[in-house]
Amino acid sequence: MHYDTLIIGAGLSGLAAGIRCAYFDQRVCVLERHTTIGGLNSFYRLRGRNHDVGLHAVTNYASPGSKTGPLSKLLRQLRIRWDEFALCEQIGSSVVFPGVTLKFTNDFEYLREQVHSRFPLEKDRFERFHSHLLTFNELDLNQQAVSAREIVGSFLRDPLLIDMLFCPLMFYGSARPEDMDWNQFVVMYKSIFLEGFARPNRGVRPIMKALVRKYKDVGGELKLRSGVRRILVHQGRAAGVELEDGRQLTANRVLSSAGIVETLKLCANNREQGTIEANSLPAAGDVTFNEVIDILDISPQQLGHDQTIIFFSSSERFQYRKPQEPCDLQSGIICSPNNYRYTEPLEEGCIRLTALANHDFWLNLPEREYTAAKAEWADKIRETALELIPDYRAHILDTDTFTPHTIRRFTGHENGCVYGAPEKSLDGRTPIKELYICGTDQGFLGIVGAMLSGITMANNHCLNP
Amino acid sequence: MAPAEIRQVIIGILSKIAPDEDLSSLDDTKPFREQMELDSMDFLDIVMELRKAYRIQIPEEDYFHLGTMQSTVEYLTPLLKDA
């Protein structure tokens, strides 16, 4: 079977790219290693409950009828109606550092007032910084990476304010320790502080299902349980793939959402020619997380907790990097999926706690120690969070925990890192002709970003080559 | 196709691109960009929808003809006369 485009990975970016290709009459196939769709964002069922893998919030919120912004753009491109995603807005979130709290909602004016009142000396500098940021075109795919710390530091002087602005943006998208690429900072700043958080009542499921339904409606082919063993490369050009079962599929081009390092490794397995040497691979990412998902017999609001997401650091200097210990207890995220403005409340309470994790520890842990270590660190992460929210431990019905080990198993990401490699390939090109990447390592972030990545790469490389 | 039919074709395409949009009040002499906030990705989609439905190729240097409904219909009339 010969295809116009083969897509590796049935996650948000791969399916979105597939919809574009199939809609415009290409013969396209999405290949997924696992038994179901989803990648970094997915869903699963455990002990009778539905869980989301990664979703805390859909960023880039836009209200129905909005004509501009990333969400509206992707709905148009995918020919999907706003109400298919059925997003409900957050109640309110905050960044909590020692002695200072910045609250924010989906109305930027609220955060602006908070910055002015908490950091009065920074007021004018913050306004100049904000105006500068708005003039920047983060969607230019031909730009070079520059340090966001340098640019933000050239406007703002108070290191506490700088770190408080960086904290949520890093937690929700930075593959780079301690710093971000400026364009990634701008993407995240706009998507979180200007556009804001929302969530469908049923989590990521309706989004994934709307995508796969659309993909099939427009004639796309989806092969589950079809892991790619290698990408076939002939004379420096991608020519198809070989699946784990030995079958070969040929194509005019291959679009991979597997990650840049992971994708190039699939090319390195070509005996006929060694275009990619193992030592020339880009560096894999280093930053990743543990997450504890507690299901409660009561809603967080009944316990007096109505914040949607809290990003916290118990030290003034926010450290975003691989910790020495198994998990970093100095900082974290507390997400309550119940705390959105739903028309119907969720059936059960839920608290999700996220902490930076050391991937070497979790990936090398002997299997017999793994379960106990997960429980031990879940307890410690929970205790840290309880300094900021009511003690809910008597109400826990069930707990699930994921670690870098889980992430590597289900996404194939090197080091089990969430946000992929630090060096992004914004234009999606690779050293191999007709091999492109989309998804995390292309560099658009979040759920909306992932879909836009697939759309943009399909438009630029598959439909109008 | 007659100009009136071509207009309907374009309305059909616009309603696919922006299903939540009310197109009944569209002003044929005003730019789509202003009325519907269409961007370059959307204009490319109009071109690709026309290619998909009628196999016509619109070169990039001609995209400026697609600014308003009126100019689009004028531009497409000779191209779609046998469609």
**For residue A444, what is the domain's CATH number?**
3.50.50.60
Looking at the fold, whether A293 and A365 belong to one and the same domain comes out as yes
ipTM of the complex: 0.88
SS3 A379: helix
A54 confidence band (pLDDT: 50, 70, 90): confident
Looking at the fold, whether A394 and A261 belong to one and the same domain comes out as no
Read off the DSSP letter of residue A402: E
Contacts of B16 in chain A (CB under 8 A): 79
| pLDDT at residue number A271 | 56
Lowest-confidence pick of A5-14, A89-98, B6-15, B38-47: B38-47
| pLDDT at residue number A349 | 97
Nearest residue to A231 (alpha-carbon basis) of A192, A190, A260: A260
Q: Is residue A80 part of a domain?
A: no
Summary mean pLDDT of chain B: 91
Residue numbers of A between 75 and 134 with CB closer than 8 Å to B: 75-77, 79-82
Q: For a pLDDT cut of 70, what percent of chain A falls above it?
A: 97
Nearest residue to A290 (alpha-carbon basis) of A169, A203, A408: A408
Q: In whole angstroms, what is the distance from residue A73 CA to residue A377 CA? A: 41
Name the pairing type of β-strands A93-97 and A309-313. parallel
Contacts of B52 in chain A (CB under 8 A): 24-25
Q: Does residue A269 carry a pLDDT above 70?
A: no
- pLDDT single digits (tens) A222-264: 999 999 999 999 999 999 999 999 999 999 999 999 999 999 9
Looking at the fold, whether A278 and A188 belong to one and the same domain comes out as no
Q: Is the full-model pTM beyond 0.90?
A: yes
Least Cα separation, residue A13 to chain B (angstroms):
17
Q: Could you tell me if residue B32 is left (phi over 0), alpha (psi between -120 and 50 degrees) or otherwise beta?
A: alpha
H helices then E strands: how many in chain B?
4, 0
Is A157 at the interface with chain B, CB within 8 A? no
SS3 A287: coil
Looking at the fold, whether A343 and A207 belong to one and the same domain comes out as no
Question: What are phi and psi for residue A193, nearest 5 degrees?
Answer: -85, -35
Looking at the fold, whether A357 and A268 belong to one and the same domain comes out as no
Q: What domain range is B13 assigned to?
A: 3-79
- pLDDT single digits (tens) A211-232: 999 999 999 999 999 999 999 9
Name which of A24, A68, A77 is nearest B41 (Cβ-Cβ). Answer: A77
Is residue A8 within 8 Å of residue A31, measured between CB atoms?
yes
Rg over CA atoms, chain A? 22
Looking at the fold, whether A107 and A209 belong to one and the same domain comes out as no
Domain boundary residue, one of A391, A410, A429 = A410
A65 confidence band (pLDDT: 50, 70, 90): confident
Contacts of B18 in chain A (CB under 8 A): 67, 76
Q: Is residue A60 part of a domain?
A: no
Q: Is residue A195 part of a domain?
A: yes
Q: Is residue A62 part of a domain?
A: no
Q: In whole angstroms, what is the distance from residue A137 CA to residue A134 CA? A: 8
| pLDDT at residue number A139 | 83
Q: In whole angstroms, what is the distance from residue A120 CA to residue A448 CA? A: 34
- pLDDT single digits (tens) A365-387: 999 999 999 999 999 999 999 99
Looking at the fold, whether A291 and A360 belong to one and the same domain comes out as yes
Tokens 């197109």 -> residue:
B23
Q: Is residue A61 part of a domain?
A: no
Least Cα separation, residue B70 to chain A (angstroms):
22
| pLDDT at residue number A278 | 61
Read off the DSSP letter of residue A338: T
Instruction: Give the pair of three-digit tokens for residue A102.
Output: 């910045």
Q: Is residue A383 part of a domain?
A: yes
Q: How many domains does chain A have?
A: 2
Nearest residue to A310 (alpha-carbon basis) of A376, A379, A383, A386: A386
Instruction: Give the pair of three-digit tokens for residue A134.
Output: 């708005």
Segment B13-40 shows an average pLDDT of 89
Tokens 């994934």 -> residue:
A208
Q: In whole angstroms, what is the distance from residue A70 CA to residue B48 CA? A: 21
Looking at the fold, whether A155 and A139 belong to one and the same domain comes out as yes
| Dihedral, B14, B15, B17, B18 alpha carbons, nearest 10 | 110
Q: Do B18 and A76 touch (CB under 8 A)?
A: yes
Q: A interface mutation test: which of B13, B14, B20, B50 has the most A CBs within 10 A?
A: B20
Q: Is residue A70 part of a domain?
A: no
Nearest residue to A186 (alpha-carbon basis) of A422, A445, A457, A451: A445
Looking at the fold, whether A452 and A348 belong to one and the same domain comes out as no
Chain A residue nearest residue B21, CA to CA: A65
Instruction: Give the pair of three-digit tokens for residue A341.
Output: 């403005």
CATH code of the domain containing B29: 1.10.1200.10
Looking at the fold, whether A148 and A290 belong to one and the same domain comes out as yes
Nearest residue to A438 (alpha-carbon basis) of A14, A4, A1: A14
Is residue A419 within 8 Å of residue A367, measured between CB atoms?
no
CATH code of the domain containing A392: 3.90.660
Q: Is residue A318 part of a domain?
A: yes
Name which of A25, A73, A81 is nearest B19 (Cβ-Cβ). Answer: A81
Looking at the fold, whether A288 and A276 belong to one and the same domain comes out as no
Q: What domain range is A226 assigned to?
A: 2-54+202-283+420-463
Question: What are phi and psi for residue A149, nearest 5 degrees?
Answer: -60, -40
| pLDDT at residue number A277 | 63
Q: Do B16 and A82 touch (CB under 8 A)?
A: no
Q: How many domains does chain B have?
A: 1
Q: How many CA atoms does the CB half-sphere of A445 hold within 13 Å?
A: 29
Residue numbers of B between 52 and 71 with CB closer than 8 Å to A: 52
Which residues are paired to A356 by β-bridges?
A289
- pLDDT single digits (tens) A270-287: 655 555 666 678 888 999
| pLDDT at residue number A279 | 65
Segment B57-77 shows an average pLDDT of 93
Instruction: Give the pair of three-digit tokens for residue B82.
Output: 């046998």
Nearest residue to B16 (alpha-carbon basis) of A139, A312, A75: A75
| pLDDT at residue number A275 | 54
Is residue B56 within 8 Å of residue B47, measured between CB atoms?
no
| pLDDT at residue number A335 | 98
Domain boundary residue, one of A410, A430, A455 = A410
Looking at the fold, whether A242 and A296 belong to one and the same domain comes out as no
Q: B interface mutation test: which of A20, A63, A67 has the most B CBs within 10 A?
A: A67
Beta-carbon contacts of residue A375 (< 8 Å; ≥ 6 apart): A401
- pLDDT single digits (tens) A298-340: 999 999 999 999 999 999 999 999 999 999 999 999 999 999 9
Residue numbers of A between 16 and 55 with CB closer than 8 Å to B: 24-25
Q: B interface mutation test: which of A76, A81, A82, A462 has the most B CBs within 10 A?
A: A76
Summary mean pLDDT of chain A: 94
Q: Do B19 and A79 touch (CB under 8 A)?
A: yes
